[in-house]
Each structure stands twice: as C-alpha cells, then as structure tokens.
C-alpha cells in the first residue's frame, strides 16, 4: 500500500492555464495560480482526512470524511464536494460550484509523488499538477 499521508511540493504543471480558463477563472488570478508552486500536506486521523495547501497568497485547509458531502472554500465561492478512495493509491474528489460547473480532481500517489489531475466536467479539459514528496 502506498503511503498517502505526508508533505508535498509542486514541481511542475501541465495544461493548467487551459484548465483554469475552461472553468472561467479570470486572466490575472489564473496566471497567479499557474505560476505558483504550492506545498501540500495530507493527514488522516481516524475517519477524517485533512489536506492543507499553502501558496504565497493563502492557506487552504480542507477536512472531509470519505463518501460524505462537504463544502470547500475557494476564491470564486463555495464548492460542494465528495471525496472517495479508488484502490489504495487514489483519492477522487467530485466538485460542483454554485454556478453548476463540475470538476473532478484525482490525487494519484506513488512512493515519491502525488499527481493531481483536474478535469472539467462540461468541456473535458484536463490540467495536471505534479507534487514531489518531501
């Protein structure tokens, strides 16, 4: 079983600008997000998972239990989310924004990295972020 819990730092992005554009992120915030190198920490205590993402501009803490709906605060508003586990190395988060836009985030873990794949439900546009375990 792959260790999911741990600390990670973003090493590179792939098609992220196109993905953020497809979900309607304005130009300036999109450029800032694409040029940031966030760090991330994932913890699990009992049934509760916590993902903390740190950028130069904000720290976002998301807590959830697998299979249960929760809210996630984003700069553009609140998202309704449900996260599930696929196999022993993937967390899959399905989100729905207040405007109806849907996104799937797949966190795929190996011994030394976490690959987050973002997919816009309406257009199919995909963006990726590669995080190295620290």
Q: Which domains does the chain have, with CATH numbers?
A: 6-133 (2.40.128.20)
Q: Which of 115, 112, 111, 110 is nearest to 129 (CA)?
A: 115
- pTM here? 0.95
The per-residue pLDDT of the chain, averaged, comes to 95
Q: Mind listing the pLDDT tens digit for each residue in 42-90? A: 999 999 999 999 998 899 999 999 999 999 988 778 999 999 999 999 9
Distance CA 104, CA 74 (A): 15
Residue 18 in 3-state DSSP?
helix
């Amino acid at each position: 079983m792959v260790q999911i819990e741990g600390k990670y730092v973003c090493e590179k992005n792939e098609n992220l600008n196109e993905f953020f554009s497809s979900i309607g992120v304005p130009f300036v915030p999109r450029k800032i997000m694409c040029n940031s190198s966030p760090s991330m920490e994932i913890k699990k205590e009992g049934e509760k998972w916590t993902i903390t993402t740190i950028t130069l501009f904000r720290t976002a803490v998301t807590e959830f239990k697998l299979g249960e709906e929760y809210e996630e605060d984003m700069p553009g508003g609140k998202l309704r989310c449900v996260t599930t586990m696929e196999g022993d190395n993937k967390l899959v988060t399905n989100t729905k924004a207040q405007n109806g836009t849907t996104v799937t985030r797949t966190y795929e873990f190996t011994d030394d990295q976490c690959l987050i794949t973002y997919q816009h439900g309406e257009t199919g546009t995909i963006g990726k972020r590669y995080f190295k375990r620290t």
